[in-house]
């Protein structure tokens, strides 16, 4: 795989060594057991896969190179390049300014831009409408485009099934930048609707079966469907694609459910299902799959708590939290500074969408066993700082982590 040039401050010597060793031992990436860092009184189990993915490193390399190559020019990011506070803060420190927030709200009017400005497209991609507006100003959006190749793969899959007269169902978070971009690209070629979760997929299924009247569709899926969508006929042939960072099991369940609806309504079987339901296969990116599979492997290890590191608005990270919190007390943090002391941690609650304070988060067991992973947009250096801070509470440091001969490494 290509090696990217990114700021060395995002790298971790410890984690780089661990990942290199695991790649050597598991070249086919079939072993999802965690790596044990044994500090004696505390044992930290690192997920087999975590941290920066191909798309994120590609975006970081392009963004920082763009700054270096354009001295004296105004440089803008369309929105957060990735959902990581450290990376975005570093880019702002280099003079980069955001045009929009993560929900698409304008921070700087496009009317203030000129053809001499540089605009970086984030890893999530953007809508066709925004590309047209920037191009009309004279800004070449393709020159500094960091859109993840795996997001573009979803767009290509949508285009392929659109040409076969399928409508597209996008499984994604409606307000997420990537979902908005994918919706835009899909809707350019075929009727498109977004479903957020299984409940919405079931609701959509009731329109397919005729249990609900077509006119109600426009209320239930307000601002989720493409212009001119005809609920009476555009759900007769469908295919499912997704926001690449969704929970894989959720996307599969939604796809299987809608497929079962088509099988039943049109009296089909597996041999002729493509008359009504497109074979889109899996459009989740490899990193999302690997990181989620690694968490399933991580959870096989008996432990006291789990710590997940990443941006609070990171979709792929939030799904890792959802998996770990099903089994263990889970602390979702975006920086080592959120661990105030051995007794106090400030962490994000996905259910209330707010940061909360927990005291006594480290159990009194000996040894304390902690599962740890991070999202695809989180620098390894941040994870190392979290490890070192926790180790320090037990009178040790990362230099003393036992790696040789320790199972399950």
- Give the tens place of pLDDT for each residue, 341-362: 999 999 999 999 999 999 999 9
Predicted pLDDT at 283: 75
The full set of domains in the chain, from first to last, is 8-53+286-400 (3.40.1010.20), 54-137 (3.40.50.11270), 164-275 (no CATH)
Task: Tell me what percent of the residues of the chain surpass a pLDDT of 90.
Answer: 92
Instruction: Confirm whether pTM is higher than 0.75.
Output: yes
Residue indicated by tokens 């960091």? 146
Residue 46 binned pLDDT confidence (cut-offs 50, 70, 90)? very high
60 pLDDT more than 50: yes
User: Which of 178, 215, 355, 399 is an active site residue?
Assistant: 178
Name the residue among 58, 25, 224, 43 with its Cα closest to residue 144.
58
Q: pLDDT tens for residues 154-186?
A: 999 999 999 999 999 999 999 999 999 999 999
List phi, psi (to 5°) of 76: -125, 145
H or E element in which residue 195 lies: strand 192-195
pLDDT per residue over 91-113, tens digit each? 999 999 999 999 899 999 999 99
Nearest-angstrom CA–CA distance, 16 and 11: 7
**How far apart, in whole angstroms, are the C-alpha atoms of residue 6 and residue 199?**
41
Q: Are 304 and 370 in contact (CB under 8 A)?
A: yes
Residues 147-156: tens digit of each pLDDT = 999 999 999 9
Active site includes 132?
no
CA-CA distance, 37 to 138, in Å (whole number)? Answer: 53
In this prediction, residue 404 carries a pLDDT of 43
Distance, in Å, from the CA atom of 37 to the CA atom of 337, rounded to the nearest integer, reads 21
**Residue 403 pLDDT:** 54
Question: Quick one: which of 175, 228, 221 has its CA closest to 201?
Answer: 221
User: Which among 272, 190, 265, 202 has a CA at the least distance from the CA of 227?
Assistant: 190
What mean pLDDT comes out for the span 395-404? 74
Task: Please report, for residues 50, 257, 390, the alpha-carbon distance to residue 336 in angstroms, rounded to integers and kept in the order given.
Answer: 17, 41, 9
Segment 263-270 long-range contacts (CB within 8 Å, at least 24 positions apart)? 264/209, 265/208, 265/209
């Amino acid at each position: 795989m290509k090696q990217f040039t990114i700021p060395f401050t995002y790298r971790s010597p410890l984690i780089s060594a661990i990942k290199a060793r695991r790649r050597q031992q598991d070249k086919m990436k079939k072993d999802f057991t965690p790596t044990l860092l044994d500090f004696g009184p505390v044992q930290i189990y690192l997920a087999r896969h975590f941290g920066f993915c191909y798309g994120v490193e590609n975006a970081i390399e392009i963004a920082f190179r763009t700054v270096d190559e354009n001295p004296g020019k105004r440089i803008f990011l369309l929105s957060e390049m990735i959902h990581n506070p450290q990376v975005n803060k570093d880019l702002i420190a280099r003079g980069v300014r955001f045009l929009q927030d993560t929900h698409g709200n304008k921070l700087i009017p496009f009317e203030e831009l000129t053809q001499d400005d540089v605009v970086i497209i984030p890893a999530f991609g953007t809508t066709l409408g925004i590309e047209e507006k920037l191009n009309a100003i004279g800004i070449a959006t393709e020159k500094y485009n960091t859109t993840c190749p795996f997001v573009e793969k979803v767009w290509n899959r949508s285009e392929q099934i659109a040409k076969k007269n399928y409508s597209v169902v996008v499984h994604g978070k409606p307000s997420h930048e990537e979902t908005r971009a994918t919706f835009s690209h899909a809707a350019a070629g075929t009727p498109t609707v977004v479903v957020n979760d299984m409940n919405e997929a079931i609701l959509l299924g009731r329109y397919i079966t005729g249990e609900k009247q077509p006119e109600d569709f426009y209320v239930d899926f307000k601002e989720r469907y493409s212009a001119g969508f005809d609920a009476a006929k555009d759900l007769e042939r469908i295919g499912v694609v997704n926001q690449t960072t969704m929970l894989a099991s959720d996307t599969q369940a939604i796809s299987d459910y809608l497929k079962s609806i088509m099988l039943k309504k049109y009296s089909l079987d597996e041999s002729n299902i493509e008359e009504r339901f497109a074979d889109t296969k899996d459009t989740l990116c490899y990193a999302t799959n690997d990181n989620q599979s690694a968490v399933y492997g991580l959870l096989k290890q008996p432990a006291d708590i789990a710590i997940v590191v990443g941006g609070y608005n990171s979709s792929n990270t939030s799904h890792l939290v959802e998996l770990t919190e099903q089994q263990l007390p889970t602390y979702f943090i975006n920086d080592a500074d959120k661990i105030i002391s051995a007794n106090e941690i400030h962490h994000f609650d996905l259910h209330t969408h707010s940061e909360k304070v927990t005291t006594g988060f480290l159990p009194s067991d000996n040894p304390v066993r902690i599962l740890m992973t991070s999202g695809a947009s989180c620098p390894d250096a941040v994870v190392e700082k979290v490890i070192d801070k926790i180790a320090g509470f037990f009178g040790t440091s990362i230099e003393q982590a036992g790696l040789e001969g320790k199972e399950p490494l």
